[in-house]
Amino acid sequence: MNIIEIRKHLQSTVFDHETLASILRGKVSNINAKIAYMVNKGELIRFKKGLYALGKEYQTTSVDTISLANTLYAPSYVSFDYALSYYGLIPERVYEITSATMRMKKEFDTPLGRFTYKPIPLQAYALGIDWLYDDIHGGKLIATAEKALCDKIRADRGIGRLSQQKLRAYLEFDLRIDMELLFALDAALISTIATAYKSSNLKNLSKLINRRKQSA
């Protein structure tokens, strides 16, 4: 059974060992040897043990990095710099896919790039997450712009406690946040996240945005 025949049976761009085994069962004598052979030939991409995609030459649809990030290490949602770039809040294009998780920190170096996972407290985890869906990749989880920024600020332990004035300078010059987009964020959601994180910096972020909206 060749890779073109296997492709006809696949329902998604990323699939696990059991999916491959169910397709190959009864068609080859040694399923694991066949999978290893296809990986070595570049017909399959291996992201971690038991998780694969078709090689680039055989893909009809490219792998979605957000969906892959969710699948590599679950539960998790894409956040931090990658999500800030996704929403246009920072000017840089981010190549490392950064996620938040309730589990221990983790890194995966894959053919599609590095995927990193940072732990956050349970009480803050479920706040400010968007579930996106399309017919090709299915559902995927990404932080809202508000949550991504809160996660980023909370993770930067070196900044200490900032006044609203110093926080604004940090956002504008250190993180290079688009200030027009910043002031359009939902201050109430940020306040809720700040309470869950028990963060004075995030409370000041909510106040900073509210003060700007009230003066506009």
Q: What percent of the chain has pLDDT over 90?
A: 94
pTM confidence score = 0.93
- Cα–Cα distance for residue pair 100/117, rounded to 1 Å: 6
- The token duo for 44 is 């399959």
pLDDT(215) > 90: no
Higher pLDDT, 81 or 135: 81
Arithmetic mean of pLDDT, 65-93: 97
DSSP secondary structure letters along 8-44: HH--SSEEEHHHHHHHHBTTBS-HHHHHHHHHHHTSE
Arithmetic mean of pLDDT, 39-47: 98
Higher pLDDT, 66 or 11: 66
**Where does the pLDDT of residue 9 fall: very low under 50, low under 70, confident under 90, or very high at 90 and above?**
very high
* 28-37, 95-104, 207-216: segment of lowest average pLDDT: 207-216
- Strand 14-16 and strand 138-143: pairing? unpaired
